[in-house]
Amino acid sequence: MIIDCHGHFTTAPPALGEWRDAQIAALGTPSAAPGPSGPRIGDDELRESLEGNQLRLMDERGIDVTVFSPRASFMAHHIGDLTTSSRWAEICNDLCHRVSRLYPERFVPAAMLPQSPGAAPATCLPELTRAVEELGAVAVNINPDPSGGHWTAPPLTDRSWYPLYEKLVEYDIPAMVHVSTSCNPAFHTTGAHYLNADTTAFMQLLQGDLFADFPTLRLIVPHGGGAVPYHWGRFRGLAMALGKPPLEEHVMNNVFFDTCVYHQPGIDLLLDVVPTRSVLFASEMIGAVRGVDPDTGHHFDDTRRYVEAAGLSDAGLTAVQERNARTVYPRLDALLTRQGR
């Protein structure tokens, strides 16, 4: 089985974006807000949005299951306030849940949280609870920078995050550390802000001692860990300078990287530097990079090709493509087991 741990509903029907545009346009004028029930999207519209896009590519590339969350750039936590984000999160999470009901053997839902600049992470707990208990979410996305590129939030090791981590541990679900749209013109959203955030989050975790307090907490740093594998020696040296244990002991029992790296040398480096047990297969298809690589004739985000050409042992390849995800996402494993897989 091949499990893609990093999928977003980037092809959602236009009505979703139209409802969001109306919500944003009505900020400051509550009477002009769109209907609280959300956009009207039928099951046939959902099928059409998926069968020619994610599902088609999953079939072409041999991907069996995708952990499917709302579109990352659409989270846009910097817009409006907590009330704005809460309603938007509910609508987006409900759609991913509906997708998982329409295609129960192909998509498994993960949830966005209703974060907002200045709001305590604990304010996300009601939606986290609803997503897990009512929608069947097997993971959540955590935005370390709800300000959208201005980095006004405390680091992930700050105790203000602890109520959220306590709930994640209680539910035994992981969190993917994933920012959203950058509203700072200095940082391109997908080319700079995403990768900056991956690197920054890892360094925050290195500087702190979060996993001493939460030894079973599991965090996925996407996009191959940003700059981390490329500068592994720098981070090892910084850990020594800060008086921390070796990275393998200090963070790598709790932190995992995915394979959303879009060329062969990058995947080779990732799998050579980072322990195989800490890497999860992912592609984030129809996401940041959608074109065909003229050097290979294949889509940049067809990451299965790179992983299978990286020279892993059979056991290592199975771990990256399936076993590690089932370990890091216990609720996903339980669901697949119930399905007889």
What's the CA gap between 195 and 188, in Å, rounded? 10
- Residues serving a catalytic function are 284
**Which two tokens mark 174?**
């992981």
Residue 219: partners with Cβ closer than 8 Å, 6 or more residues away: 142, 174, 175, 176, 177, 201, 205, 254, 255, 256
Residue 224: partners with Cβ closer than 8 Å, 6 or more residues away: 198, 257, 258, 259, 260, 261, 266, 267, 270
What's the CA gap between 313 and 320, in Å, rounded? 11
Which element (helix H / strand E) includes 202? helix 194-207
The closest alpha carbon to 130, from 99, 91, 163, belongs to 91
Q: Is 264 buried (19+), middle (13-18) or exposed (0-12) by CB count in 10 A?
A: middle
What's the CA gap between 128 and 199, in Å, rounded? 25
Quick one: how far is CA 126 from the chain centroid?
A: 20
